[in-house]
Amino acid sequence: MMHQTIKGSGVAAVKDPYLCLEGINKKYGLIEVISNLNLEVRKGELIALLGPSGCGKTTTLRMIAGLITPTAGRIAVGGRDVTRIAPHGRDMGLVFQSYALFPHMTVARNVAFGLEMRGLSRAEIGAKVTRALGMVQLEHLAGRKPRELSGGQQQRVALARALVIEPSILLLDEPLSNLDAKLRDEMRTQIRDIQQQLGITTVFVTHDQVEALSMCDRIVVMKGGLIEQVGTPHEIYEHPATPFVASFVGRTNRIKGVRNADGSIGIGSSLIRSASSVKPGDVMVMVRPHRIRIDWSGTERQGETANRIAASLSRITFVGDVIQYHFDVDGSEFIVEESTIKSQAGHHPGKQAVLSWAVEDTFVFGADQ
Ligand SMILES: Nc1ncnc2c1ncn2[C@@H]1O[C@H](COP(=O)(O)OP(=O)(O)OP(=O)(O)O)[C@@H](O)[C@H]1O
Ligand SMILES: [Mg+2]
């Protein structure tokens, strides 16, 4: 089995893979939008394709669905090569970002459509449609037309329509992006519950890191047609393989530093330590804002495992749930976040403090990464 040729540390090969993408390339004319993509997904796994706009998420999803043919490479499901198989022969359920419901049909007919195409009996169709609408809690709206539904309800019809054919793989392209924050939260939980109940292998496209972190078994972080890293939400967040992953998933400070021959890292006139191994020379140091502690008196006792650095407060920003303290350290800006419940009045720009954080929370990357 092929292993991932990726920049990051995550290896995308898994035991007993169900969906396999091997050496996938996609060119539009001369422009390569997907380059040598290798990915394996386990049966029953919910995997997110996460990345900024234009990185190739939809293209990848559509190649899995068979709506786009790869320029090179192979796609297999359960050991069967489907690379040249038409979409209807692949047994996949697809939910697009725009719901793409038939406007003139009722909710029930929209959901029944795929079953009618497959020539099932009326009785079978009726039972399956009722079950699928039950899953998304829409039985009571079966007789409505799409225009008589809210965005969230339409999205649930689209989901029921994809689930009703009992596909072997469920493909979701930004299914929640048109919903407001509260509905998005509810739908996340609902999709995850249904996915786990049915044990359905699912590929979920999103550019929202919270969605990817909170719903998925593993995340594939993509950038410019390449995979940057594949890993569990915890691995991606706590051990980002590249500076891009560190700043795309979660927030982080980016501070220029220099790694010395003895392994220490200089930031201005201070020295810190990190568990990352990088070559001596210019480096980028990253620390998440909420992992930094502020010692306003500069006298708190610290363990051996903490980095400590003297800093001067330059600005305070109130952001509701959190308060952000902007510090200057020899010309570099450190942002520190605290829950507002802990925030104290009486700190003014110019105030001196000592910032500290765990060595293991210090990500260091070479300047060329
Ligand atoms: N039919 C096409 N012809 C030429 N280029 C295309 C075509 N479809 C997509 N692209 C290009 O391929 C790249 C990847 O597009 P894709 O739709 O996969 O991105 P995406 O990650 O889904 O982005 P978004 O988050 O904005 O939906 C983009 O640069 C896009 O402009
Ligand atoms: Mg897209």
Residue nearest to atom 22 of ligand 1 (CA): 58
Among the listed residues 135, 130, 112, the one whose alpha carbon sits nearest the alpha carbon of residue 194: 135
Q: How far is CA 330 from CA 270, 310, 344, in A?
A: 9, 9, 25
Helices (H), the chain: 57-65, 107-117, 122-135, 151-163, 181-198, 209-215, 233-238, 243-248
207 shares a domain with 347: no
Ligand 1 close to Cβ of residue 68 (< 6 A): no
Give domain status of residue 11, yes or no: no
Q: How far is CA 84 from CA 81, 87, 90, 279, in A?
A: 8, 9, 10, 45
Which pTM value belongs to this model? 0.89
Q: Which ligand is nearest to the CA of 207?
A: 1
156 shares a domain with 52: yes
119 shares a domain with 235: yes
Residue nearest to atom 27 of ligand 1 (CA): 53
Q: Give, as residue ranges, everything with CB less than 5 Å from ion ligand 2.
A: 58
241 shares a domain with 278: no
Ligand 1 close to Cβ of residue 33 (< 6 A): yes
Ligand 1 close to Cβ of residue 280 (< 6 A): no
344 shares a domain with 243: no
Look up the domain containing 243 and give its range. Answer: 17-247
CA 219 / ligand 1 centre spacing (Å) = 20
CATH of the domain at 53: 3.40.50.300
Number of domains in the chain: 2
259 shares a domain with 238: no
Q: Which ligand is nearest to the CA of 59?
A: 1
Sheet strand arrangement including 322-329: 293-295, 352-358, 306-319, 322-329, 332-339
- From 247, 262, 292, give the residue that closes a domain: 247
Q: How far apart are CA 10 and CA 8, in angstroms?
A: 6
222 shares a domain with 275: no
Give domain status of residue 5, yes or no: no
CATH of the domain at 342: 2.40.50.100
Beta-bridged to residue 189, according to DSSP, are: none
Please, are residues 336 and 325 in contact by the beta-carbon 8 Å criterion? yes
Give domain status of residue 10, yes or no: no
Q: Which ligand is nearest to the CA of 220?
A: 1
Most ligand 1 atoms within 8 A of CB, residue of 31, 55, 205, 211 to mutate: 55
Residue nearest to atom 5 of ligand 1 (CA): 28
CA 51 / ligand 2 centre spacing (Å) = 10
Most ligand 1 atoms within 8 A of CB, residue of 25, 27, 28 to mutate: 28
- From 247, 275, 299, give the residue that closes a domain: 247
- From 194, 216, 247, give the residue that closes a domain: 247
271 shares a domain with 227: no
186 shares a domain with 274: no
Q: Given the structure tokens 């952001």, which residue do they identify?
A: 319
335 shares a domain with 207: no
CA 196 / ligand 2 centre spacing (Å) = 25
265 shares a domain with 234: no
Ligand 1 close to Cβ of residue 55 (< 6 A): yes
Among the listed residues 337, 46, 20, the one whose alpha carbon sits nearest the alpha carbon of residue 195: 46
| Backbone torsions φ then ψ of 239, nearest 5 degrees | -135, 60
Give domain status of residue 9, yes or no: no
Ligand 1 close to Cβ of residue 310 (< 6 A): no
Q: How far is CA 112 from CA 106, 107, 175, 198, in A?
A: 10, 9, 20, 19
**Residues written for the chain:** 369
Give domain status of residue 7, yes or no: no
Tens of each residue's pLDDT in the chain, 369 residues? 333 334 443 446 778 899 999 999 999 999 999 999 999 999 999 999 999 999 999 999 999 999 999 999 999 999 999 999 999 899 899 998 776 899 999 999 999 998 998 889 999 999 999 999 998 889 999 999 999 998 888 988 999 999 898 899 999 999 887 777 887 888 899 899 989 999 999 999 999 999 999 999 999 999 999 999 999 999 999 999 999 999 999 999 999 999 999 999 999 999 999 988 889 999 999 999 999 999 998 777 766 679 999 999 999 998 888 899 999 999 999 999 998 876 566 788 999 999 999 999 999 999 877
Ligand 1 close to Cβ of residue 62 (< 6 A): no
